[in-house]
Structure 1
């Protein structure tokens, strides 16, 4: 028998000084529950109390701005991020948010290491007749805490019931509440002509029957549109987006050639619009698994012809890809880029594509002799395979420094090639 839902404020019974709170990323965040926690901390702060002190909230990619993220309550409640978003980025630069650099596949282990007795607060779908809640659009790092941590759930009818490894039984939770909040819609980024030129170079190199991973943004969306004439593709990806829906509905993605989770589309979280959420609801062809499985390079490598597609911000002559910093300032974090690049490298017939526009919005080249001071290498030179701009594909795996430099200059914007060649000569790379 499933007990009736309580109130969001019931979560306060499970908090004490120094509690580590684990929150799923994006729409997995339980907004009413965190509202209740913030309200209580604010009252305690105003009264100079000591009930709520040293709280730490661990989360990747927050999409809701909150007072505590800006350190409104001082050290009583702080945010620890594992991937900066448009919400947390300015607060990190102001010194109010901690950032833990980490491969996405290893985030659960890092959170677990930093939290002796964590409380997981998460959004969920309503319980089914067997007493199981679904974590809906999330499995990410939170699914790995099932059976290993206390859970307090916020149920909303808007959350799709999904399958895979993100179910939790009513006997395994400390409490739950119910709200009528909607999920935030994240519309697809419209692809432009440059995105489509890059997509064409990638799509023509993807064989029928391949298993693919791609992210979110204009270029990934253009690539998925370019795959509509392919056959028997599989999907094993951290992010499920609206672009995947059309490929599944058209029959392009069916997973029949996959070695693992055959016939299933596998992801670890979903981010998109109501169309995506409706498609996911009670769809047994989709499975959400914990990120330490989905992003494990050793798992990815077991798929034949695995294709990894990731965006970067700049690439130097050696092929080092800086995907998380801009001019030495942190913009995001590592995410799963290196996880999938390494997995594709070890896959039989695998390919790893790193995609980017050749220039920034103000015309500066993104193919550079050396990365800017302070830039962080996300995909190292020894792992990078193919770099793609709107001017072509530079194949770097197994290439010499001279070959790498020459091939990268060839896909740089024509306006910058002469200067890049002069700098390559000065560095004795060509």
Structure 2
């Protein structure tokens, strides 16, 4: 496979390169392996060629020990065979960079490029080749390098957007067909599925998404089938978007930037994905400096960024490029999209990760960052952290509140230790005695979505992190509501009292709430609970609903859930004590089957519901 110049004359590498030069190697699924092989075969007089690149799906032979005198590897993102090992062994370097900044490094000669080795499609009748599945930083390398040397591959898709390079920009080329590397769709395990479900609940209809690759992103996409009018503005896409685009779930109609188009910089997946983007007018590829620009990202209203992490500490710091001192991946586009989503009107930056390492022995929610670990995304940038145990909302939260939110979504076996650890360093008060507990009877996803009068609400357990929310809920009540709930005019809800009410042993007692999300805020509108009375194997039920949310069905729904859970826990009965003048609450209880009982108090009524094996079926039939 000879190398030719623009005049179709055979040329040698030494006409373009000399020892000590710096070359760029094409990215992701567009690594020009035939060019690398030809360079190695024709390199007798060359030494110490620095290679710069991001992720490369290849055997990456330039990073093997046998070629250490020819190539010096400088990875701007770590990944692919041999690269991570070369860096760990000190034979290669890692240069941390935001993807959006890398074009500037080339353009302003911070990392001047002597040559860019790229892969393109054959030219069309007008002389334009396509960068195909990897425009990303390849586009800027083409513009900045002294020489552009291309592998022309007939198997490279022709993608739309700003993906084209004219033949007069290419100084040398060789023709070599190369099947693009494929990434099989990952198998979705239970943990990834649960994380995906929780993340999908944060995505509203009409949102624009940035999403990556792997188990969790694929799981998120699987749970978006019932969403409407979603858009894509993402560094990359994988196979998971294909069916959502074909079905019209992703139609880009509500986008406010590049409306009507799915916008990305590269794609990786199976051959089905490469065939899908080939000539597809609805999917456009743009350079990283355009797609990853936080300013451009923020032009999309309701922008949702979904990224992963290696660990998150209890203040919200995100480590995602190293495991301790071992560099593992890179900064990539995470900060670009987190910042862009933060600036977007209605935007949501999300960090999603399993609560533990694969073996389950180590928590990925940590009291302090592992020594050597590097913070990629600061504690000031993160709005949501999601694990298989729920959603932690961090924006605007104090260190104390953040710690409690993150402990709530940590694996249960690590929660007590995390609470102990956090007391050593952060301002979690001594009266906060217990770590969060779960309500398994709600299901694996302890979050249920309900719609009342076309507004979405979420039913979930109360948790220690709700201390301030419960205070706000209390102080929103009228004097009349407080009298109905507490049978006296309660005037204060201290933090200590709020802490006691939200720090519930949910395995014994039960405390549920209805919340409404207004973009990044989570407001409590209703609370229902029972206190377990062991001597009678029963629970005493209590409710309070915001005045402006009454009559919508929240009380009935809360009571139905409480009855179901109490029945599953084999309680014999539920009891309640209600003021005689609280007609609305009496109606809710009696509709649920509670019977009035004798009361010695003149202003109160006692009610009782016997629980049987058929109770749950009866509730579901009524619903």
Shorter-chain TM-score bucket reads: over 0.9
Q: Distance in 2 between matches of 1:10 and 1:211?
A: 47
**Deviation of the 1:315 alpha carbon:** 0.7
**Counterpart for residue 172 of structure 1:** 169
User: 1:95 is paired with a residue of what secondary structure?
Assistant: coil
Partner of 1:298: 295
Could you tell me how far apart the structure 2 residues matched to 1:226 and 1:74 are? 46
Contiguous gaps of at least 5 residues in structure 1: 45-50
Q: State the distance in 1 between where 2:333 and 2:187 align.
A: 23
Give yes or no for contact 1:11–1:152 (8 Å, CA) kept in 2. Answer: no
CA 1:140 to 1:428, structure 2 compared with 1: closer, same or farther past 3 Å? closer
- 2:324 aligns with 327
Report what 2:379 is aligned to: 381
Conserved? CA contact 2:195–2:352, under 8 Å: yes
Measured in 1, the distance between the counterparts of 2:74 and 2:309 equals 24
Distance 1:299 1:399 in 2: 27
Higher strand share: 2
**Following the alignment from structure 2 to structure 1, what is the Cα–Cα distance between the partners of residues 171 and 86?**
31
Q: Is the 8 A contact 1:6 1:178 kept in 2?
A: no
Unmatched segments (≥5 aa) in structure 2: 429-623
User: Is 1:272 aligned to residue 274 of structure 2?
Assistant: no
Say which SS state the counterpart of residue 258 (structure 1) adopts: coil
Give deviations 1:38-62, integer Å, cap 9, x for gaps.
Answer: 1222xx2xxxxxx313311111112
SS in 2 for 1:204: helix
Give the counterpart of 1:39 among 25, 38, 41.
41
Q: Select between 343-352 and 152-161 the one with higher mean Cα deviation.
A: 152-161
Select 1:250's aligned residue among 244, 247, 252.
247
Report the CA distance between 1:419 and its aligned residue: 1.1
Match of residue 13 from structure 1? 15
1:325–1:331 Cα contact (<8 Å) kept: yes
Alpha-carbon displacement from aligned partner over 1:210-264 (angstroms, at most 9, x marks no partner): 1100100000000011111111111000112111111111111111111211111
Aligned twin of 2:388: 390
SS at match of 1:373: coil
Matched residue count: 420
Matches within 5 A, 1:95-114: 95-112=90-107, 113-114=109-110
1:63 positional shift: 2.3
The answer to whether the 8 A contact 1:162-1:282 is kept is yes
**8 Å Cα contact 1:5-1:177 kept in structure 2:** no
Query: Aligned pair 1:57/2:51, yes or no?
Result: yes
**Higher RCO structure, 1 or 2 (CA under 8 Å, sep 6+):** 1
Q: Tell me the TM-score normalized by structure 2.
A: 0.65
- Cα offset for 1:116? 3.6
The 3 A distance-change label for structure 1 pair 39 and 223 is: same
Q: Is the 8 A contact 1:234 1:254 kept in 2?
A: yes
Which of 302, 307, 312 pairs up with 1:310? 307
Describe how 1:210-249 pairs up with structure 2 within 5 A.
210-249=207-246
Contact residue 156 and residue 181 of structure 1 kept, 8 A = yes
Deviation at 1:425, TM superposition (A): 1.9
Alignment-derived partner of residue 448 in structure 2 = none
Between stretches 287-296 and 65-74, larger displacement belongs to 65-74
Residues 67 and 204 of structure 1, relative CA distance in 2, 3 Å threshold: closer
Equivalent residues in 2 for 1:181-200, closer than 5 Å? 181-200=178-197
Q: How far apart, in 2, do the equivalents of 1:182 and 1:6 lie?
A: 26
Distance, in Å, in 2 between the alignment partners of 1:269 and 1:237 is: 9
CA RMSD, Structure 1 to Structure 2 (Å): 1.8
Q: Is the 8 A contact 2:106 2:140 kept in 1?
A: no
> Is it true that 1:78 corresponds to 2:68 in the alignment?
no
Q: 2:89 aligns with which of 80, 84, 94?
A: 94
Could you tell which deviates more after superposition, 64-73 or 331-340? 64-73
Counterpart in 2 of 1:126? 122
Cα deviation per residue 1:267-305 (whole Å; 9 max; x = unaligned)?
A: 111111100010011111111111011111111111100
